[in-house]
Copies of this chain bind each other. A is one copy, B any other.
Amino acid sequence: MTIAADRDARRESLLVAADLVVQRDGASASMAAIAAEAGITKPILYRHFGDKSGLYAALAERHTDRLLDALVDALTAGGTSRERVHRTIDTYLSVIEAEPQVYRFLVESEEAAPAKGPVRGFLRRLQELLAAGISHELRLEPEDERAGIWAAAILGMVQAAGERWLEVRDCSRDTLGSQLTDLLWGAYGLASAAAHE
Contact = CB atoms under 8 A, between A and B. Distances in A.
B127 A192 contact: no
A156 B160 contact: yes
B82 A192 contact: yes
20 contacts: A127-B164, A134-B188, A137-B192, A137-B195, A138-B192, A145-B171, A145-B175, A145-B179, A146-B191, A148-B168, A148-B170, A149-B164, A149-B171, A149-B179, A154-B183, A154-B188, A156-B157, A156-B158, A157-B157, A185-B189
Interface of A: 81-82, 108, 110-112, 127, 134, 137-140, 145-146, 148-150, 152-161, 163-165, 168, 170-171, 175-176, 179-180, 183-196
